[in-house]
Structure 1
Amino acid sequence: MFRLDELVAHLGGELVGDPAVAVRRVATLDQAGEGDLAFLANRKYAARLADCRASAVIVAPEARELTALPRIVTADPYVYFARVAQLFNPPAAVPAGVHATAAVEADLPASASVGAGASVEAGARIGEDVVIGPGCHIGRGVTIGAGSRLHANVTVYHGCVIGARCILHAGAVIGADGFGFARDRDGSWIKIPQVGRVVIGDDVEVGANTTIDRGALDDTVIGNGVKLDNQIQIAHNVRIGEKTAVAGCVGIAGSTVIGARCMIGGQAGIIGHLSIADDVVVSAGTLVTKSIHRAGVYTANLPVQPHPEWVKNFAHLRHLDSLVDRIRALEQGLDKADPTESD
């Protein structure tokens, strides 16, 4: 539990009201009650302040007079809420040491923790305070930076690098072979050895069951501060710039380069060998088929509609080529017409 003046001392902001008010958790405007700290991140929900039962609220400067509740005024209430939530919900402490059922062939610092059934192969370099959860496998020569945490059943293939303070959620696979094959004349596929690595920077979070393939020749690189949601596929030799966020079920094909501070919406697809500039937003469900060279928001999908309307509209799309041909013929006829001719 924190007093409001303690929160402001930790995180800044302007305190309006009783500094001794104590709060124990953060909550939404609708669900907050006694002892809760609510937040108003979007002005369109301002009317809900009137009925809010929280002990205090976080608001932007333009909303400071919309409530009589004790309040913390800050430029970005949503970011402030996130930082308060971190204070209230620190990661659970994990005792250092190696579980009796773990198999460890590498030297570990005394502060590291290795869970039940995990394995760490020879040559791995594990930093201070690293947590390797139950069932994880760390391949030979892997490097994991200080303070990183791997939840249960994460697999890191040989030679890959994970930076400091990273979080890898359950089932993530780092460094599996990329999809590299050459097709022979008889139709059979010849495997191309994937000899690159995956190199992950500091402060990266990788969601559950997300897969990041190792490079074919060069490395697959994930920049500092990147946030990856669950069930994402990142193919070989992809490079993702720092502080980019990628939502769930995105597929990124090989050798694509994505800039810094981008946001990729859920279920988007990006084909291979493209370049995407810094500060690009790709909307959910968009298929990116060509490089994007300028910052901005890009969307390529159809809104949902009743099935009969979709069938009718698609029928028109099927005849689009013939419609274009007819328009061209009409234009050519107009071009040939005598401009002096009159009715």
Structure 2
Amino acid sequence: MINLKTIAAELDLLNELNEAQLALSIRSLAPLDSAKSGDISFLSSKKYRRVLSETKASAVLLSEADAEFCPADCVALVVKDPYLSYAIISHLFSTESAIEPIIHPTAQVDASVSLGENVAIGAYAVIEPGAKIGDNAIIGAHCFIGEHSEVGARTRLHHRVTLAHHCVLGNDCQVFSGAVIGSDGFGYAPTETGWHAIAQIGRVLVGDRVEIGANTTVDRGAIDDTIIEHDVILDNQIMIGHNVKIGAKSVLVAQVGVAGSTSIGKNCTIGGQSGFAGHLEIADNSFFAGQSMVTKGTKQGGYYASGIPAQDGNEWRKMVARIRQLDKLSERVKELEAQLSQDS
């Protein structure tokens, strides 16, 4: 249980709470519609005001505009940005146990590794010669860190993360389970008998405060480096090809694929399952809807989309049938235009 005084201390409240309200005990976070007495919730969109009026939560994070709709028996925590405030206090309710800064006896850490202060290394982790691990970093169980790689201060590698040789992770990063950073990029030269692999001699350089999701792969550069700038978020199961550059504060949602040497600008948002061809330049502040197929770069930011949203199956079949007739229709239009020009 956490009292509201502790929660309020994490926030910039726009209203004042009395002593009785500050002493209120909060058990957990919950959605507005399922919250019970002892829970705290949040309202970040006015379309849910109806739910707010019926909530059983003991306290709610909300904006000034929504404060008047808060039930009388619920404590209103008025903030500028309810969703951000929810994100901040969510960590108070984390169920994950604290990680002690110890090195597990089964971990294999080469004698030449540079270890910072208060580093935690989990069971069966392997850290190869010349690697550097920053202060307060956490290396989970079964992680592999290749030779001469670097892990920044307060960065956490969850269990089973691979950081290949000579790659760099910045400070305050999180890399989730199964991610592979620095695997060889997809580079082959054709021969008469098949394919000849090209050595991938670049690195992966990851900035500060970057999050890389579970089972995401970031390939090392072929010659130059693959670069992920500060404050980027990569969701689960994303594929980043060699020599790709992703600009600061960009967000890529699950199952995005970015082919080699494409550069994505700053503050971009890439919807899930979007695919990017190689050697493209994507402008800052570009937003791509889910399942976008991107074959050309963008010269200015804006909203981009492709693909066909789901619809009634019968309507979809009719549409596809019409699309298949477009070539014939085009030819008929050309014939009619030719006849009209002759008649005139």
Q: Which residue of 1 aligns with 2:282?
A: 276
Corresponding position of 1:183: 190
Matched with 2:45 is 42
* Match of residue 71 from structure 1: 76
Q: Which runs of 4+ in 1 moved over 6 A?
A: none
Q: Are 1:26 and 1:84, in contact at CA under 8 Å, matched by a contact in 2?
A: no
Q: Say whether residues 1:267 and 2:273 are aligned partners.
A: yes
| SS class of match (1:82) | helix
Deviations 1:233-276 (A, max 9, x none): 10100000111111111111111101111111111111111111
Instruction: Using the TM superposition, give the Cα deviation of residue 325 of structure 1 relative to its aligned residue in structure 2, in angstroms.
Output: 2.2
Is 1:285 equivalent to 2:291 in the alignment? yes
- Distance in 2 (CA, whole Å) between partners of 1:82 and 1:10 is 11
**Letter of the 1:299 counterpart:** A
**Most deviating of 199-208 and 63-72:** 63-72
Report which stretch shifted further, 292-301 or 82-91. 82-91
In structure 2, what is the Cα distance between the partners aligned to 1:87 and 1:331? Answer: 71
Segments of 5+ residues of structure 2 without an aligned counterpart are: none
Which residue is 1:243 aligned to? 249
- How many positions carry a matched residue from both structures? 337
RMSD: 1.8
Equivalent residue, structure 1, for 2:64:
61
Aligned AA (2:287):
V
- State how 1:74-89 maps to structure 2 within 5 Å: 74-89=79-94
Does 2-11 or 144-153 show the bigger shift? Answer: 2-11
Per the alignment, in what secondary structure is the counterpart of residue 331 of structure 2?
helix
Closer, same or farther in 2 for the Cα pair 1:14/1:4, shift >3 Å? farther
C-alpha change, 1:282 and 1:124, in structure 2 (3 Å) is same
> What is the CA-CA distance between 1:91 and the residue it aligns to?
5.9
AA at the equivalent of 1:218: D
1:29 aligns with 2:32: yes
Check whether the contact 2:293–2:306 (CA below 8 A) recurs between aligned residues.
Answer: yes
Post-superposition offset of 1:73: 1.6
Aligned to 1:112: 119
Written as runs of structure 1 = structure 2, the 5 A alignment for 1:292-331 is 292-331=298-337
- Structure 2 matches for 1:119-268, cutoff 5 A? 119-184=126-191, 186-268=192-274
Instruction: Look up the SS of the partner of 1:10 in the other structure.
Output: coil
* Matched residue, 2:15: 15
Against the structure 1 CA distance between its residues 293 and 233, is the aligned structure 2 distance closer, same or farther, given a 3 Å change threshold? same
| Structure 1 alignment gaps of length 5 or more | 339-343
Q: Helix, strand or coil for the counterpart of 1:292? A: coil
In 1, are the aligned partners of 2:101 and 2:118 still within 8 Å (CA)? Answer: yes
Query: How many percent identity over aligned positions?
Result: 43
- Aligned residue for 1:54, secondary structure, equals coil
CA change 1:28–1:132 in 2 (3 A) is same
Query: Who is 2:104 aligned against?
Result: 99
AA partner of residue 99 (structure 1): H
TM-score, normalised on structure 1?
A: 0.93
Measure, in 2, the Cα distance between the counterparts of 1:22 and 1:293.
53
Q: Which amino acid aligns with 1:40?
A: L
Q: CA deviation at 1:110?
A: 4.2
Cα pair 1:4 1:15 within 8 Å, conserved? no
TM-score normalised over the length of structure 2:
0.93
Is the CA contact (8 Å cut-off) linking 1:256 and 1:274 kept in structure 2?
A: yes
Cα displacement (A) at 1:36: 1.4
> 2: CA distance between counterparts of 1:104 and 1:5?
44
CA-to-aligned-CA distance 1:80-128 (integer Å, 9 cap, x gap): 1111112333864211222111111113234111111111011001101
Contact 1:97–1:110, Cα closer than 8 Å, also in 2: no
